[in-house]
Amino acid sequence: MTNTQKPKIGIFSLTGCGGDQLMILNLEPILLDLLSRFEIKDFQEASSYKEEEAELDIALVEGSVSTKTDLEKLKKIRERSKMIIAIGDCAIGGCVQAMRNGQMSMEERMRKVYGVDVDYYDVLEPKGISSYVNVELEIPGCPIEKSQVLHAITSLLHGDMPEEIDYPVCVECKLNGYPCLLVEKGLPCLGPIITAGCDARCPGLGLDCIGCRGPIRDESNVAAELEVLLEKGYDEEYILNRLRFFGGNFEDIQKLTKRISEKSKGRRNSHEEDS
């Protein structure tokens, strides 16, 4: 990006709560300054002004792909953007919406929620946008951290790709000197497998990490988390649900779920044979 021309930016929502766009609006005092450095071509929550076909330097996309409409929209965004940044867990891995992925089919889910008659023609299994298009950068969080967005945006304005955080929350606990809730109190903290960047906010308040920033792709050892929490006396189902809450689309968590459900099926079958 050259300094002479303002980078063109678009901010888009797919399926989600819009919380991440809100977080950007929440940057308030510096928001104006920040926005004045871009030429804004599309921003649903801030204005109704849109230039549907304009070429974009950066597209910030939040929300998961949960409908065919989302997917169409996403493909169009990809075509017109040099860089796509997925903001928030929904856009990265489907987040809470993906909790039941790989466990229950979409049809089952729709039936369960709305009854049989609902038209689920448009519905897709919620997934992160990188499942469909190439994504240059991901900013995790549910919602995202203001400081991280700010850092990402200043880096981009400066002309650099922002550095991604790929270490777990435990690191930030230690840098802050917070006593470990898992080790000391046996709380079911997910910190060891969850992407840092929140400055270990929850553990710092004495609350065990529930994993709102999602696991670290190709890195987190989720099987170890299961083992450790089982060891501490937590119930398998409970742990699995906890892991799935924000990480349902994370490959290793899906594998784990499958392994366990097969195991428990096996157990059930053998029980049946026994009786």
Contacting positions for ligand SF4 (CB under 6 A): 169-170, 173, 178, 180-182, 189, 191-192, 200, 203, 209
Angle at 137 between CA 131 and CA 139, to 5 degrees: 95
Judged by beta carbon, residue 16 or residue 191, the one nearer ligand SF4 is 191
Query: Quick one: 144 or 189, whose CB is closer to ligand SF4?
Result: 189
Q: Please report the DSSP string for 16-69 in residue order.
A: S-SHHHHHHHTTHHHHHHHHTTSEEEEETTT-S-B-TT--EEEEEEESBEEEHH
Q: Which does 209 bind (CB under 5 to 8 A by kind): another protein, ligand SF4, none?
A: ligand SF4
DSSP 270: H
CB-based closest residue to ligand SF4: 191
Q: Are 62 and 49 a contacting pair, CB within 8 Å?
A: no
CA distance 202 to 131: 30
C-alpha span between 271 and 269 (Å, rounded): 5
Q: Does 160 bind another protein (CB under 8 A)?
A: yes
Binding test (CB under 8 A) with another protein, winner from 79, 107, 166, 237: 166
Q: Is 225 in the site for another protein (CB under 8 A)?
A: yes
The reply to whether 185 sits near another protein by the rule CB under 8 A is yes
For residue 235, how many other CB atoms are within 10 A of its CB? Answer: 10
**33 scored as a contact of another protein (CB under 8 A):** yes
Contacts with another protein by CB under 8 A lie at 30, 33-34, 150-151, 154-155, 157-161, 163, 166-168, 170-171, 174-177, 179-180, 182-185, 189, 191-193, 216, 219-221, 223-225, 227-228, 231
